[in-house]
A and B are shown apart, each in its own frame.
Chain A
Amino acid sequence: MGLAKRVIPCLDVTAGRVVKGVNFIRLIDAGDPVEIAARYDAEGADELTFLDITASSDDRDIILHVIEAVAAKVFIPLTVGGGVRKVADVRRLLNAGADKVSINTAAVQNPALVSEASGIVGNQCIVVAIDAKKKGDRWEVYTHGGRNATGLDVVDWARRMVQAGAGEILLTSMDRDGTRDGFDLALTRAVSEAVSVPVIASGGVGSREHLADGILEGHADAVLAASVFHFGDFTVRESKQYMQSRGIEVRL
């Protein structure tokens, strides 16, 4: 008995619509973030993560309306990331109904943003997202959606970000993302054991076994997946039932 490991569906949003296919049965509008969020909530999602992949800065405010609408209907924690550059962005998202804001590229460009933001809104609201790519027997931090190498070592960077005030680390393996080959378990374990805050494993989920492995072998506190849920390979509830059968404590 104790704290449950979390399963977190991720929704990529652009211009107010969820992208990537969604294969829910009886879904009227497969691109409506509110409808999809409500569906995941009903299936037992422990949290939801929204990644704003809107390219144009003119359309950035649309995500605020999306979060407002979701937060009026879904009463589980909501994390929003993508394009967060300054403390004002963090505040706007929290005021719209986000519970946590995830910072990625801007944390590398301006590490003071993480300490400044967590000092104002509290560590529990600040997630630092790290995109990691294998390099020899270590991993390197990438930014700009995985396009730019930074030369930073992932484990060192995660430690530094926790010191700066990150309340959680969202760790994505660029090598595994989209492959359906499972998480990079060595990466997940290396970061999880290096930091005192919860780590969310991301990138590569293709099966329920992968989710369980992320917890049992990667030592992650939470597991995040997008396409397996969107395409209906299995539901959030089915994945949690499977995890429970492997001895993992979940909320069912």
Chain B
Amino acid sequence: MGNLRSVSKALEHVATRISPTIEVLVTSDPKAIRAAERVVVPGQGAMPDCMRQLTDSGAREAVVSAAANKPFLGICIGLQMLFEHGEEGDTPGLGLLPGRVPKFSAEVANSGLKIPHMGWNQVIQERPHPLWDGIADRSRFYFVHSYYPQPAERALTAGSCAYGISFTCAVARDNIFAVQFHPEKSQNSGLQLLSNFVQWRP
């Protein structure tokens, strides 16, 4: 499911600074996911493939249960899959959060903006959250995506971003935090967010 290696490398990098006892494991084994203290679900490429792989690997139930009770971080398609439906390939998501994942519309493209939305954009922190600790409001994070989350409840939005339209780029509820951008590729701000996640006690 995309470039897991970048995410695991960045997590290893921050984890060693926090505690030598933290182990970062890349796995699709449901037992390992159930045993983990916290779970990160990345995902790159296309939502239909990511959903299929999540199901085929047998990890789906374990991921759903992790999202119910463990510190849980979704990244990119790992965020998109949490919603009810993705426009990409008309794909049903996990439905853990109410909302949909539409494509940037023709209006965005017609206004001269390129799709995918690729590069460093400012993230507006819509509300305080432990995962924003030490990160200045409107810090830039690295994005690369053509579809964006559209939560059905405004309270889910923890961060937003402007690209032709204003869209939700970070969602939070209870033990779940999920971002459309790539913290593993967002230099210091991204490493800070991952470090916050590793230490997060929701």
Contact = CB atoms under 8 A, between A and B. Distances in A.
Contacts of B182: 77
Interface in B134-189: 138, 140, 142-146, 162-163, 182, 184-187
B5 A77 contact: no
A87 interface: no
A198 B114 contact: yes
Contacts of B3: 94, 97, 99, 125
Contacts of A168: 118
Interface in A129-170: 167-168
Contacts of A72: 9, 12-13
Interface in A100-146: 120-125
Q: How large is the interface on B (under 10, 10 to 19, 20 to 34, 35 or more residues)?
A: 35 or more
Contacts of B142: 76-77
B116 A197 contact: yes
B64 to A, nearest CB: 24
Interface stretch (B30-38, B55-63, B91-99, B119-127): B119-127
B6 A3 contact: no
B44 to A, nearest CB: 6
B78 interface: no
Contact of B187 (A76, A123, A125, A221): A76
A207 B162 CA distance: 31
B45 interface: yes
A75 B13 contact: yes
B195 to A, nearest CB: 12
A5 B114 CA distance: 12
A252 to B, nearest CB: 9
Contacts of B45: 120-122, 124-125
Interface string B81-117: 0000000000000000000000000000100011111
A251 to B, nearest CB: 4
B13 A3 contact: no
B5 A75 contact: no
Interface residues of A, number: 34
A2 interface: yes
A4 B6 contact: no
B15 interface: no
Contacts of B131: none
Given A3-B163, A97-B9, A197-B116, A122 B2 contact: yes
Interface in B1-49: 2-3, 5-6, 9-10, 12-13, 44-46
A76 B187 CA distance: 6
A52 interface: no
Contacts of A123: 116, 146
Contact of A75 (B115, B121, B185): B185
B74 interface: no
A221 B119 contact: yes
A99 B140 CA distance: 18
Contacts of B143: 3
Given A75-B185, A75-B191, A251-B140, A99 B118 contact: no
Given A4-B140, A76-B185, A125-B45, 17 more contacts: A2-B162, A73-B13, A75-B184, A75-B185, A76-B187, A96-B5, A121-B44, A121-B45, A122-B45, A124-B144, A125-B3, A196-B114, A196-B115, A197-B114, A198-B114, A221-B119, A251-B140
30 contacts: A1-B138, A1-B162, A3-B113, A4-B140, A5-B119, A41-B187, A71-B5, A71-B6, A72-B9, A73-B13, A75-B9, A75-B185, A75-B187, A76-B142, A76-B186, A77-B142, A77-B185, A94-B5, A95-B5, A97-B5, A121-B2, A122-B45, A123-B116, A124-B44, A124-B116, A124-B118, A125-B3, A196-B115, A197-B114, A251-B140
Interface of B: 2-3, 5-6, 9-10, 12-13, 44-46, 109, 113-122, 138, 140, 142-146, 162-163, 182, 184-187, 190-191
- 8 tightest A-B contacts by CB? A122-B45, A251-B120, A124-B144, A4-B120, A198-B114, A251-B140, A3-B121, A77-B185
